[in-house]
Structure 1
């Protein structure tokens, strides 16, 4: 009994090296979610475990972290690329991944706290400090990325903890130490580089990209990381600044901020040239071998992301095409191709799907709006909307271009107006007999912003055929539409450009 009182051996099962190896070996290889869930359970138990020596606890967390990485990559692929992921399954994968990075950060924070508290045996952690700091900042970065997959919200507390982790790495002299963060990686990183990657991620306006595009953008940021400029002094090349001691994200350097010893400045540096070379290469059908995108992607998916980053990394920030005016007015909104077609056909919303949003700014190009009561899971980048401003009699057609959650029930969106008038028509392939009984293709004709003799047509997915002329009746005239190209595709629509020939027959 007396001996047990003085025993330093922890009672946690993973304190035994053989049990730790067994727990890792028994992680299911064919079920990524279950494997991550088991590691999460071990993480939770380690947060309150007693008796571990500082280095022993760190090593236990390190091994579990490394064992989970292949399973986390599989969960990410499932989340981003599964074609028919249910809302429940999507939420399950999102929750598991965010929980992993949150608990991992807390455990690495615990190791650092024990080192700074000068616990007995904590000096043994000193050689591991570069790895602990870099992985801690990586964990925070992944928390932000997964929140961005859901378009926020991001609490200021994360930015403060992230900044404190970076400043602590600096003060302990390990921020710039290069090392491989995980076994099998081909390139080295450091606490400073991981911090800079998070800053550039935020500065790249991910709120206008889809989740799979956000993942691609982060990979491209990682590829360009050595090109970025980062330091404590502002120079002619500086574009952004941040104060890591404050719970605030980085912002554009439009004027010098109030002096503080913790201010940091950063810029894309030579990365725009690297992007330009990548764009040329991808346009020719080649992705350089040294660019790790985490998978094979078609050029039509990579190029928009490259152009997006090039625009936001330019020395001059992208300017708004139209001036915004602050307003406060209600918008009646219906979503999706079918509902929009019904509206422009003159048929009322019969199933109660219309929502009331609040427009808080307006320009010639569109609206900024608040969604006070999120309903369902349809709202996303690229969603097609029909909108009627309060007091107006006409409907507008638009697409969601930016999306950010302000809470679980409220969001802010940026909407591009496609047309202030749309004609609902029934389209028929020219080759179809006039007496055929087959139903036509529903479509909406848009003439806003088009050259004379051209028209855009919004149709259901896979309706466009570059070899097929279409015809329809509109405004008392017979129209012949000759295909030109497809401009945009969404989950339930596509927008194509046609040449328009009219006749009175």
Structure 2
């Protein structure tokens, strides 16, 4: 039996999807992924074909997919966020492809049932596909594969010292993706972060004992994904401990080189756009794998209720002014803390929001908008769950002028002489070193820009001092 014929891989174009950003034909990429997934599923059946022949075809298809997705990842920021050719559909397609590939290799290796002619080399192939499935689960905010960690752990235990350590390397890669919060990385930095994980693999460790420096605990014989270490663990049979200190030290050295304007040869293969995001990717991995990885600052309180939600600077400002035309989306509150809100986002509303987006939330029985930035987006059983960091509980709509142009803005803080105030404005509007004058509620205030700044898909956020 032969798999369906594959369509040709989409050609990387020189046409910019955004100004200065090379893109791929994302629609053709998605179509190719669908065809490849169908081919992999066809190869899962028996059909009279020898296991070795099926394995060879799977390896060939996987190679095509890896090249295809590497191109997409290298210019992910230039792919539209939504629509039939959008990033959301591409990430879903990649997740489904690697899920089918994991299942095919699990069958050929004998991990998913007894086979007469098991293929030994399917073990490292399964581990590699599983690592990529973990990555694309995070990037797509899709459902986790229920057998993945069990099969991956079984492959690790079965492989031992065979295959030149390839199975252990891919097991470490999967844990690295899981622990590195890839779902919190902006699309512009994904290619850089992916390369840094690959560069750091040789410095990651999986130990049978906890020496006090482990970040995660994993049990290869369990269905459960790795668990963050919140305290020193005892030594239990069957548990292994993920240590990333060596990789973190390497990233710290890289950060110093980048700050000096040096580009190490190991990362010189990145596209010009991805190189610009190297410092961001490096700092993200340092935060996740450093001596003091991120921990929740405020206690969460479970709370239900309905939330009106608006995303994007322009739509949010219209709502705050009272001139919103389109009705807000409806989210379901999940939890609250001093630092933000967790919400379940059903259906198409979830596809419209990405990590890093500016959003406004209002309780169903409330009359004020809370301003926040989406920091996390993960699938939570039935629907994506978003974590929103609060920026302001009482934002104000104002008009701003920098001496060259007048534009709409939002104030996140009260205006008090000598104190700091955060200002939101459309993307590429707030200039460094330029005094800003804001007009609102019958008064004019002069603001001196400070160094702290942040940007998103359609907004700038800068800190000023009130003069």
Any stretches of 5+ residues in structure 1 without a counterpart? 1-11, 15-19, 179-188, 433-439
Deviations 1:299-327 (A, max 9, x none): 65222322222122123443333444444
SS in 1 for 2:110: helix
Mapped pair 1:466 → 2:440: no
The 5-angstrom pairing of residues 339-350 of structure 1 reads 339-345=315-321, 347=322, 349-350=324-325
Mapped pair 1:395 → 2:377: no
* TM-score, normalization by structure 2: 0.83
Mapped pair 1:362 → 2:345: no
Q: How many aligned residue pairs are there?
A: 450
Q: Between 481-490 and 147-156, report the one with greater CA deviation.
A: 481-490
- Residue 282 of structure 1 is matched in structure 2 by 258
SS in 1 for 2:265: coil
SS in 1 for 2:446: strand
SS in 1 for 2:351: coil
- Residue 110 of structure 2 is matched in structure 1 by 113
Q: How far is 1:44 from its partner? A: 3.5
Q: How far is 1:202 from its partner? A: 0.9
Larger RCO, structure (CA 8 Å, separation 6 or more): 2
Question: Are the equivalent residues in 1 in contact too, given 2:245–2:291 (CA < 8 A)?
Answer: no
- Residue 301 of structure 1 is matched in structure 2 by 277
Taking a change above 3 Å as real, the CA distance of residues 200 and 464 of structure 1, as seen in their structure-2 partners, is same
Deviations 1:415-459 (A, max 9, x none): 211122222112234357xxxxxxx41111233699934432211
Q: Which of 394, 408, 412 does residue 421 from structure 1 map onto?
A: 394
* TM-score, normalization by structure 1: 0.78
Distance 1:431 1:211 in 2: 32
Mapped pair 1:201 → 2:177: yes
- Residue 83 of structure 2 is matched in structure 1 by 87
SS in 1 for 2:261: coil
SS in 2 for 1:107: helix
Any stretches of 5+ residues in structure 2 without a counterpart? 12-27
- Residue 45 of structure 1 is matched in structure 2 by 42
Distance 1:46 1:298 in 2: 36
Question: Are the equivalent residues in 2 in contact too, given 1:216–1:293 (CA < 8 A)?
Answer: no
Question: Are the equivalent residues in 1 in contact too, given 2:183–2:376 (CA < 8 A)?
Answer: yes
SS in 1 for 2:49: coil
- Residue 165 of structure 1 is matched in structure 2 by 155
SS in 2 for 1:156: coil
Deviations 1:178-226 (A, max 9, x none): 2xxxxxxxxxx61001101111221222332234434433321221111
Q: How far is 1:272 from its partner? A: 1.8
Q: Which of 440, 452, 457 does residue 491 from structure 1 map onto?
A: 457
SS in 1 for 2:333: strand
Distance 2:332 2:269 in 1: 38
Distance 1:32 1:326 in 2: 40
- Residue 181 of structure 1 is matched in structure 2 by none
Distance 1:253 1:287 in 2: 34
Taking a change above 3 Å as real, the CA distance of residues 45 and 200 of structure 1, as seen in their structure-2 partners, is closer
SS in 2 for 1:88: coil
- Residue 153 of structure 1 is matched in structure 2 by 143
